[in-house]
């Protein structure tokens, strides 16, 4: 019985960690950022923001004009 409860708790903890880095809402108050996150369907946040910290402004500027996911909006201007 104790082993079963321990295994169940271990599996639950593993599942919580799997979802720790998934986003489904934009926490920004900036309307442009909210619009961008909505356009991307709140997916792949870390592609832009990085996993261990934000990317530099220079890296983001290059990504905006080279990445197919970004070009659609950022090159319309």
Question: 72 in a domain, yes or no?
Answer: yes
Question: 74 in a domain, yes or no?
Answer: yes
**Residue owning tokens 């926490």:** 27
- The 3-state DSSP class for residue 4 equals helix
Question: 9 in a domain, yes or no?
Answer: no
Q: Percent of the chain beyond pLDDT 70?
A: 69
Is 70 exceeded by the pLDDT of residue 39? yes
Question: 59 in a domain, yes or no?
Answer: yes
Q: Which domain holds residue 29?
A: 24-77
Question: 14 in a domain, yes or no?
Answer: no
Question: 8 in a domain, yes or no?
Answer: no
Tokens of 61: 């500027």
Question: 41 in a domain, yes or no?
Answer: yes
Residue (of 14, 35, 18, 16) closest to 26 by Cα position: 35
Name the domain count of the chain: 1
Global confidence as pTM: 0.51
């Amino acid at each position: 019985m104790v082993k079963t409860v321990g295994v169940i708790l271990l599996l639950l903890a593993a599942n919580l960690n799997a979802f720790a880095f998934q986003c489904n809402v934009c926490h920004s108050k900036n309307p442009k950022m909210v619009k961008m996150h909505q356009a991307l369907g709140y997916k792949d946040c870390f592609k832009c923001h990085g996993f261990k910290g934000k990317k530099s402004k220079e890296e983001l500027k290059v990504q905006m004009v080279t990445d197919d996911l970004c070009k659609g909006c950022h090159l319309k201007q």
